[in-house]
Each structure stands twice: as structure tokens, then as C-alpha cells.
Chain A
Amino acid sequence: MTGFDVAIIGGGLVGCSAALHLSRRDASVVLLERRHCGSQASGVNYGGVRQQGRDLAELPLARRSRRIWADLETLVGTDCEFEVTGHLKLARSEAEMAELEDYAERARDFDLTLEPLGPAQIRARFPWLGDAIVGGSFCAEDGHANPRLVAPALARAAVAAGADIREGAEVVGATHDGHIFELRLSDSTMLRARRLINAAGAWGSTVSTWFGEPVPEDVMAPNMCVTDPIPYFLAPNLGVCGGDIYVRQIRRGNVIFGGGVGVADRTQVKARPLAEITAQAVRLAVGLVPRLATAQVIRTWSGIEGVMPDGLPVIGPSETTPGILHAFGFSGHGFQLGPGVGAVLCELALDDATSTPIDPFRINRFSIDETSRQTIGPAANSRERPSDAVRRSSVS
């Protein structure tokens, strides 16, 4: 049986980034991905690379990740269509505008510059905005990228750096004898490693439960739409207070937007958008940008995202089993964080410490009582009523 320094469960953005960072430091790494790298949330998300509006607890990590995004092309040989277009967060009421101004003030502590824009300014700069907009906040550093490309590109770079990346390899169980982890794959292959990274996304709580660490990870399926190409005019990535709609346009002209949630089935690994949610997202998108009324929706889709009750991911060492590092449950906004999380996991695995503050993400912050335990099951996101956690968590 082969032994590795680190085994990673999950080939999403998080797992692939960890694999790349670890193999660049010459650790021997094996990554096990049930399907293809980036075939789940990391490959089908909206593509928002956004720091603005994040929980302040996430900002140091987001700042670090943003630096990696800037270097992506050097790191993986392609820019993954990452464009620094700015992120414009819009207010539809005075109260929301006050919220944005307050956030901009507090973001300064993290060296994140946000530019609040009043009604006149915002109209002058973005004349295509709808009447309901009373103001906004612009983050010049933010942007968007093509999610379908990022995780596979990280995986390729990791392989080039020496990582052993196995697709079509599902981990069905894992044990720890006090020194070594032993992983069992669905084809009965056994693997050994000194450290284990749980980057299993919406299935992260399944893996943590193997080690006696259940957490209330719900799932959600953000409802995504794309239009046919229309002349390029909408440069910034758009969001709103409350997060019920987000819109971006790519250079080839297609407008991508999302809002609301479809149906996620964690057990069947299936996610579907819903027609009525699409219709509602269309109305909201046209409300923000009336010019979109002439476009056509050509495709809708969704993906499965793990959601924690407080909307923050689980990142850090296990409380039950030394040697395990968890990183899952990104609650709708792990695309921007992914590259940075991989770097942090690498430090934790090889140095047992990281310079990035991650304490708010520790796994033992949830008290599991019987009611929340029930939400761990499959299809917790019933199509009639998304849970409170799902409704609260902001996507994009």
C-alpha cells in the first residue's frame, strides 16, 4: 500500500488549490475526486470573485486569496478568464445605502477600499441602471472568472508539480490508527497518508462524521441563468443588498445572472434550477438593468453547495482526530476564497500554523442538538421551503 504525506478528499477549487500548494512544497500528495475535478460547485458557480460584502471574519482570507487570483496566470498557465471589472453592490433604499457606507468604513481595517456612490454619481457612471437604484458601493479590485476552467487548471498545475490526482475515485470510508490515515475507495483500493484534508464540499459533513464530528451542513442549489450574447456594456459584477440577484456580463456578450435557489439532492448528486425561480430572477435582473429586457435566456443550471448555519465555512484542524484538516461548507461564496484556502491548508498541513486568521471557522463552533442534527440528512433543502440558513446565505 502506498503512503502519502497528504491525502485530499475532493477535487473542487479548495482541494485542487491545496494539492497545488502542497506539491509545490514537495509534499507527496494524492487527491481523490469522485467525478471530475471541478465538476461540482467549483465548476458550475456564478463566477463572482468578490471581496466586498463578505462577513468581516472572511476578509483576511479573501484578501489573501485575491492576491493568488492576481497571480493565477503565472501559477497555472491560464488566467481562467479572470477579469478585474470591479464589483458594484447596489442599494435599493436609503437604509441599504447606509448599510453599504457602514460596511465600507469597516472594510478599511482590512485594507479593502470601497467607494460609496450616491444617486447622481452612480447614474453618471452606470447610466444603464434601473430607477429603483438609489446608490451603491464600488470595489475596484473585485471581478469575475470562468468557473469551469479554474479547478481543472489548478489540478493540471498540481499534476505538473508532482501531485497524484485521481478522478473517478470515490472515498467511501477512512480511519485513523493514531498515526496513519487509511482511505478506502469505492473500487476497494486502500491508500495511506499521514494527513487528511477534507475538501469534500457539500459532502464535507459526511466525511467529518466518519471521525465523530457531525456538523449541521445544509445544501442549496443557487439558480443560475445565462442569456444569448448582447453588445458588451455591463462591465462590473453586480450585486445587491440582500443578495436576491447578481448579474455579470462576459466579453463575448452573454449575461450571467442568478437569484434564489433551485433543488439540490446531495445523495443523488443532482441539482436543478426551478422555472418559477428563473422567472423571478429575470424580473429582478431587468429591474436592476432594464436593458436586459431584450435579451433571451438560453440556459439555466444549478449546483450543490454546502451551507453552514452562520454562513461561514468550516476551515481548520479537527477537534477529534489530529492530522485532519477540514475545509468545506462555503455557504455560497467559496469560489473567491478557494485559491487562498488551499494555501492556508498547505501551511496547516506542513507547518501546523497559518498566518491567516481562521479561528471564526473552527469546526466546534456549532452545538449540535437533536433538531439541527436532522438537517444533516440528504435533500435537506426541500423544494418547498429552503431552510433559514439557505435563505440567509449570500451567493456570488
Chain B
Amino acid sequence: MPSVVIIGAGPAGVRAAETLVRAGLRATVIDEAPSSGGQIYRRPPPSIVRDSKKVYGFEAARARSVHRAFDDLQEQIDYWPDSTVWSAQGRKLGVITKSGPRDAAWDRLILATGAMDRVIPFKGWTLPGVFTLGGAQVALKYQACAIGERPIFLGTGPLLYLVAYQYAAAGVKVAAVLDTATAGAKRRAFFGLISGGRTFLKGLYYLAWLRAHGIPVVSGARPVCAHAGPDGAVRELEWRDGHGSLHRTACDSIATGFGLNPETQIADLCDVPCVFDSGQRQWVPVQDSDGRAAVAGVYLAGDGAGIKGAAAAELSGERAAHALLHDLGHAGSAERIKTLNGRLRRFERFRRALDEKAFKFPADLAASADDDLMICRCEGITAGALRHAAREHGVAEINRAKAFTRVGMGRCQGRICGPAAGEILANSLGVSLEAVGRLRGQVPIKPVPMAAFLDGAVP
């Protein structure tokens, strides 16, 4: 039996594992979280007993279904929770588990690593009290606590409205929802959005709910500066509306995010090539129509292969498993892949309308950062330093910018600053974002404590 490893126990990884088990294969499922569910269906720790309807809202049924599916597999898979894949070389993964480092060899590998918030730095974004949207949601879902008593939600994308709604519904006084996308863009995307069906309706519901509860929701907004109070934490956001008028809104926290970025580092280290998705303005691993990566034995699923959302992640997880089974000679998989592809195409149209039209990534906002704005907080690199490197040192590529300025060199490996750094570099060189390239993934995929290698013998 080939050894099959799945990285990620979110909706994509869970459905992939389930499909393999049904076909009689035993897979190893590795996830750094303590329990399955991934980002969207993340489970609260056992110490916090909460009603799933409260944690997952409309998604409660789906969350229960994904959780149950995974729990039912326990006898037929090898599940490594609390385990971070830190290296990938050849057909061997380096994993840090609770009990120390461990290798996982694979003949077939399904990457279902999900996505991360996409951030655009603005003045004051490093103040205490400023969180990513995802971080704000994790606090609520996982720890049942809010980032503040009066948060502002700033950014764009469906997650902006969802998380604002989740906060407000949990009784938090949301100060404002500021969307950088314009109302016009959303109107123009309308027909594409309808293809989203239920998902689209939920979005409309969140918006209507926020409005009905008197929460200011503004389209076409631009952050100017987050100001600190006497305690050094964020106290007020200065922003402009679509007409250019300046506003100041009091707050004690800000949750910000501008869509998601796929986690592609492991794919990168497995030599899977990436292509530039000009609509989403991001790089995604190359796959064929059935989820096979361009590297033999590697399959891609879920948001890690391109942002399509949680429902699509379940489908592409199942599809990747079927592609794998098909390659092993299992009958019946080809037929099922066809069905899944049909269903996935619908999501495609909806996602394009959502991310490329309604909630377009505000590239100009990222590119127009003031020279003194810190872009890379791990290394303390400003937009001006990046522009200087482009101007004075002829830096024309993002990895070269990293070598010269240290941008993206810190512990987040450019996950946070990468998108904005790319926009700034491309803008100051007058070239496309694609032309400045992509930050290469490097081992470790996530920071590794030195102590992990010391066999417990910490001196």
C-alpha cells in the first residue's frame, strides 16, 4: 500500500481522508491544530463547551458534518494533531509533534494547507489592538473572547462582513465596518454574485443585519491612520470616505484583512511551480483540472490551491483524493471527478465575481504607502527602504529586495508583508506585480523551537 500523507485537517483535508478511507486506503493526516476543522470549522478547546450553533452560525450543520466525518475516521487513519510540517525535502516531511521531531515519508501527498489573511499596512497598523480579521475570528470562535469592546472592521471581502456580524451578534458594539471596495463595484458584480446562491444570500443577510442594528457600513473607504491613546493602544481610526472627506471613528481595536492568500510554502518546497492569478493578484500552485500538481505524486485541495471558499474546499478535497485513487488504478474515480468538477465550476464563477469584482484587492492602497510606513514588522522595513532599493540598487525582483532590505526575512517569512511589498516594488518600478515575482518558500515552513531537536535534554 502506498504511503499517503494529507497535510491539513480543514474541510479539504477531511473530505480527502474520508474518500481515501472509503476506498480502503489508510492515510496519515497531519495538522498543527489540536483538533480537526481547519480555519472555518475550528473547534473550541474541550474546556470551553459551547453550542455549535453559537460558534458556527449558519455553518453549524456543515461544521458538524465535517467534524463527524473526521471523528468517524479515527480507526482508519493515522491522525497527527498538534503537528507542524516544518520541512519538505524529496518525499520526506519533517514534522514537529508534541513529543518531538518526526519524519513522514510519502508516496502520495495531498496538500490541503488552507489560506491566511491578506494584510495591507496602513499608518498605525502595528499598534496594540490591531488584529487580522482571521485573528479576530479565532479569538471569538476558539477562545470565546473579543479583540475589544468597540472594534472597527476594516478591509474588504466577504470575511469582513461575516466577522463583523459574528462580533455584533455576540453582543460586541461594532464601531464601524469600513470596506475599501466601492458600492458601484458591488453593484456591477451583482449578476456574477447571484451564482453563489445560498452563500450570496448569507452575505446579503449579514449586511442587512449590520445595517438594521445601526452599525455604520461604508463602501469605498480608505484608512488614513490609526491613532494611539495614552496607553499606547489604538484608540481612533482616521479614514476617508469615497468622496475624500476625512472622518475619525473612536475604537479600542481594529480587525483588518483584504481577502486571503493561499499557503503555498510546502508546495513550493516540493518543487510545485506557481502561476500568477491576475484577478486575485496572487500566486497559486499549478494544477491540472483534477487537482494534480505538476509534480508526480502531489495533489492540491482547498484554499491552499487558490481561494474558493469552504464549500468548494470540501469538493476539491474529495476530488484530489479521487485523482490520487484514479492514479492508483481505482475504478469509479473518474466518474466522480466529473461530477465534482461540474459542481466546482459554479463556485469558480461566484468567486471571480466576489474577489475580482465586488471586493477587488485595493492594490493602489498597498502601493501608495508613505515612505515612512513600516511594511515588514518582523524586520522593521519601511516602504521607503523598498523604494530606495528599487531606485538606487536596481532591485527588480522581490527575492532580491529581500536580500537587500530584509523585507520578508523575519519569522512570518513574508506571509504578512509579502503582498504589500510586491505591490510597492512593482509600482515603483512601473512593472506588473507578476513581473516582480514571488517570495520563495524556505525551510522552516513555520518557525521551529530549537528545543524541539534537543531530545528533551534541554541543558
A and B pair up: yes
Partner of B450, one of A272, A293, A301: A293
Partner of B444, one of A130, A286, A287, A298: A298
What is the bound-complex CA distance between A295 and B413, given in angstroms?
16
The answer on a CB contact under 8 Å between B403 and A299 is no
The answer on a CB contact under 8 Å between B443 and A300 is yes
The answer on a CB contact under 8 Å between B447 and A296 is yes
Residues facing B in A264-302 (CB within 8 A) are 272-275, 278-279, 282-283, 285-287, 290, 292-301
State how many angstroms separate the Cβ of B443 from the closest Cβ of chain A.
5
The answer on a CB contact under 8 Å between B94 and A294 is no
CB of A313 within 8 A of chain B? no
A residues within 8 A CB of B443? 273, 275, 278, 299-300
CB of B442 within 8 A of chain A? yes
The answer on a CB contact under 8 Å between A274 and B444 is no
What is the bound-complex CA distance between A305 and B454, given in angstroms?
29
User: What are the interface flags for B392-415 relative to A under an 8 Å C-beta threshold, 1 for contact and 0 otherwise?
Assistant: 010000001001100001110100
B residues within 8 A CB of A293? 450-451, 454, 458-459
Partner of A296, one of B403, B411, B442, B454: B411
In the complex, residue of chain B having the shortest beta-carbon distance to the beta carbon of A289: B459
Partner of B89, one of A156, A274, A279, A285: A274
What is the bound-complex CA distance between A238 and B372, given in angstroms?
36
In the complex, residue of chain A having the shortest beta-carbon distance to the beta carbon of B448: A297
State how many angstroms separate the Cβ of A381 from the closest Cβ of chain B.
15
CB of B449 within 8 A of chain A? yes
Q: Which of A39, A156, A279, A294: most chain B Cβ within 10 A? A: A279
CB of B58 within 8 A of chain A? no
What is the bound-complex CA distance between A290 and B86, given in angstroms?
23
The answer on a CB contact under 8 Å between A130 and B447 is no
A residues within 8 A CB of B92? 275
Q: Which of B101, B404, B450: most chain A Cβ within 10 A? A: B450
Partner of A228, one of B87, B393, B410, B458: B410
The answer on a CB contact under 8 Å between A297 and B450 is yes
Q: Which of B403, B447, B451: most chain A Cβ within 10 A? A: B403
The answer on a CB contact under 8 Å between A299 and B413 is yes
What is the bound-complex CA distance between A286 and B451, given in angstroms?
9
A residues within 8 A CB of B209? none
In the complex, residue of chain B having the shortest beta-carbon distance to the beta carbon of A36: B400
**Number of A residues, CB within 8 Å of B:** 34
What is the bound-complex CA distance between A152 and B454, given in angstroms?
38
State how many angstroms separate the Cβ of A237 from the closest Cβ of chain B.
19
State how many angstroms separate the Cβ of B322 from the closest Cβ of chain A.
31
CB of B453 within 8 A of chain A? yes
CB of A174 within 8 A of chain B? no
The answer on a CB contact under 8 Å between B393 and A152 is yes
The answer on a CB contact under 8 Å between B89 and A296 is no
The answer on a CB contact under 8 Å between B410 and A298 is yes
A residues within 8 A CB of B410? 228, 298
The answer on a CB contact under 8 Å between A152 and B404 is yes
A residues within 8 A CB of B379? 252
What is the bound-complex CA distance between A19 and B92, given in angstroms?
44
A residues within 8 A CB of B450? 227, 282, 285-286, 292-297
State how many angstroms separate the Cβ of B100 from the closest Cβ of chain A.
10
CB of A43 within 8 A of chain B? yes
What is the bound-complex CA distance between A252 and B411, given in angstroms?
14
A130-B459 contact given A275-B89, A298-B411, CB 8 Å threshold: yes
Partner of B453, one of A149, A156, A282: A282
Partner of A282, one of B413, B454, B459: B454
B residues within 8 A CB of A296? 411, 447-450
A residues within 8 A CB of B453? 279, 282-283
B residues within 8 A CB of A298? 410-411, 413, 444, 447
A residues within 8 A CB of B448? 296-297
The answer on a CB contact under 8 Å between A228 and B447 is yes
State how many angstroms separate the Cβ of B407 from the closest Cβ of chain A.
12
The answer on a CB contact under 8 Å between B459 and A148 is no
What is the bound-complex CA distance between A297 and B453, given in angstroms?
11
B residues within 8 A CB of A36? 400
What is the bound-complex CA distance between A300 and B444, given in angstroms?
7
The answer on a CB contact under 8 Å between A299 and B449 is no
What is the bound-complex CA distance between A283 and B100, given in angstroms?
14
A43-B454 contact given A296-B449, A298-B411, CB 8 Å threshold: no
Q: Which residues of B contact A (CB under 8 A)?
A: 86-87, 89, 92, 94, 101, 379, 393, 400, 403-404, 409-411, 413, 442-444, 447-451, 453-454, 458-459
Ordered by A's residue number, 22 sampled pairs between the chains whose C-beta atoms are within 8 Å are: A39-B403, A156-B393, A228-B410, A273-B443, A275-B92, A275-B94, A285-B450, A286-B450, A286-B454, A286-B459, A290-B459, A293-B458, A293-B459, A295-B449, A296-B411, A296-B447, A296-B448, A297-B447, A298-B413, A298-B447, A299-B444, A300-B444
Query: A-B pairs with the 4 shortest C-beta distances?
Result: A290-B459, A275-B94, A275-B87, A296-B447
